[in-house]
Amino acid sequence: MTNDNTDTTAAGGFSRRGFLIGTGAVGAAAALAACGSSSSTSSSKTTTSRKAAAITTTAAAGGGDDLATAAFAAGLEVLAVNTYKAALAAATGNKLGPVPAAGATFVQTAITQHQAALDKWNSVLTANGKSAVNMPDPTLNTTVNTAFGKVTDFGGAAKLALQLESIAAATYQKAVSSLTGKDAIQLAGSIQIIDMQHAAILNYVLGNYPVPDTFAKTDLAASPA
């Protein structure tokens, strides 16, 4: 079942090729559990560090295309981190009205997950002689900031987050078919499923049917300009 809210917004304020994110909304149930445990966080960082070496080796074999995809993904993750930090600041500054306690935790979890994804992609880039990506695409940044400027409450923030997560999931799904390195493919796939979890939680929060389609789609996927 396709979510009408997501399709309408994507076709309106956001170009389907305009940006990805993982971007980041507010974390899924499993992510919330991980966020609450310092030992889980430590374990996650260790796993991330161990896998980075394997991923970088395969990425090099994938050539420039894999590294270009890694750079694009990293830029979108920067945008996700920045956007959700802005959302958290707005919430704590009482600029979004009443915010459920779980909502703040949700945003913090998303920031943690998108930062981890950014770190992973940057480890791929730097291990292959490329510079780490620390800035979002300026055009995409302007688009997201303009949309965020119109958000006045928690519901509006959740709708924006849902757009971002839906585009992020579709973009990673599409990347899986274009990447050539095994570990890079696995990395993209592992991030895509988290974005789908984010979207499911956000749909639930907004009162939409939360269960995704049987097969993931790529029609909302973003690509480099």
Structural domain of residue 132, as residue ranges? Answer: 23-205
For residue 14, being part of any structural domain is answered with no
**What confidence tens digit (pLDDT) does each residue in 27-49 have?**
333 332 333 333 344 444 444 44
Q: What is the pLDDT of residue 225?
A: 66
Tokens 């994938």 — which residue? Answer: 62
Tokens representing 102 are 């779980």
Note the pTM of the prediction, 2 decimals.
0.70
In Å, what is the CA distance from 133 to each residue of 22, 62, 74, 122? 15, 19, 6, 6
Q: What is the pLDDT of residue 69?
A: 93
**What confidence tens digit (pLDDT) does each residue in 116-147 have?**
999 999 999 999 999 999 998 787 788 888 99
For residue 4, being part of any structural domain is answered with no
Looking up residue 51, the CATH number of its domain turns out to be 1.20.1260.10
Q: For the chain, how many structural domains are there in total?
A: 1
Distance CA 209, CA 199 (A): 11
For residue 148, being part of any structural domain is answered with yes
Tokens representing 137 are 């695409």
For residue 214, being part of any structural domain is answered with no
Q: Nearest-CA neighbor of 75 among 20, 35, 124, 27?
A: 20
